[in-house]
Amino acid sequence: MPAFLALARWSGKRLDLLELGPSAGLNLVFDRYAYRYVNGAWGDPSSGVVLANEERTSVPRDVLAGSLVVGRRRGIDLNPIDVASEHGVLTLTAFVWADQRARLEQLARAVAVAQAHPPELVRGDYVEVLPRVLADRDDDALTVVFQTASTQYLPRERYADLRAALTAASRDAPLGWISTQRHDEDRGERHGYALEVALWPDREPRVLAYMGYHGEWLDYLP
C-alpha cells in the first residue's frame, strides 16, 4: 500500500494497474480493501477485507494520508483463475490450509470484492505478452506494473528480458514499478522480501520496505 501511495504522489496521476502473475486478480482490487497501520488507516472497511499485521518500523502518518485513484485493472497470467465460476473459487480455496479459518474467511470476502469488480485478466506468458499490453497505455494515467512473487520463479535470462521490456517501455511514457526483489538481487542481510518501487525514467528502483513472505510483517524504510 505505501508503494502505491508513493507512485500516486510522485506522478500526480490516476493509476492504471498491470499485475504480473495475478492468479484470480485479488490484488488488482487492493484499493477496495481496508488497511490498518500503527499511525492510521487507509481504505474502506465496508468490504469486510481488513489487512493489518506487524509493523517493525511504522509507515509514517503523512504517507497514509495520501490518496489515489485506480483506473484500468489488468493482469497477465499463464492460467488465470475465474472467480465468477464455482470451480475458480474452489481452486483458490484449495490453496489455503483447511485449519486456517481466518484466512479462509478473509479469502471469501476478497473473492466477493473481485466478483463485484472483476479485473481484466489476460492469458499468456507475461514476459512475451508485456510489450504488447504496454503499447496500449493511456497518457492521462500512470501505468503501474507490479508483482508479488512470480518473478522469483523466472530463470535469470527470462527475468533479464522482462526488465529490458520495462526499460524499453519507459522510453515511450513514464512507467511505475512495484515488486519484491529476487533473492539474487537483494544483497542485504534481512530476512523476507525487499520491496522496491520505481517511477521510470526519473526515479530508479529503490527499496521502500522489507516484508514477510506472506505479508505477515512490514519494515518500512524512512
Where do the domains of the chain lie? 2-80+119-220
Q: What is the pTM of this model?
A: 0.95
Reading the block at residue 81, the C-alpha cell is 483463475
Tens-digit pLDDT profile for residues 70-108: 999 999 999 999 999 999 999 999 999 999 999 999 999
CA-wise closest residue to 64 among 13, 7, 14, 2: 2
What is the tens place of the pLDDT at every residue in 38-63?
999 999 899 999 999 999 999 999 99
The answer, yes or no, to whether the previous bond of 2 is cis (omega within 30 of 0) is no
Give residue-wise pLDDT tens across range 8-40: 999 999 999 999 999 999 999 999 999 999 999
- Would you state the pLDDT for residue 64? 96
What are the angstrom distances between the C-alpha of 179 and each of 3, 12, 39, 147, 176? 9, 21, 24, 5, 10
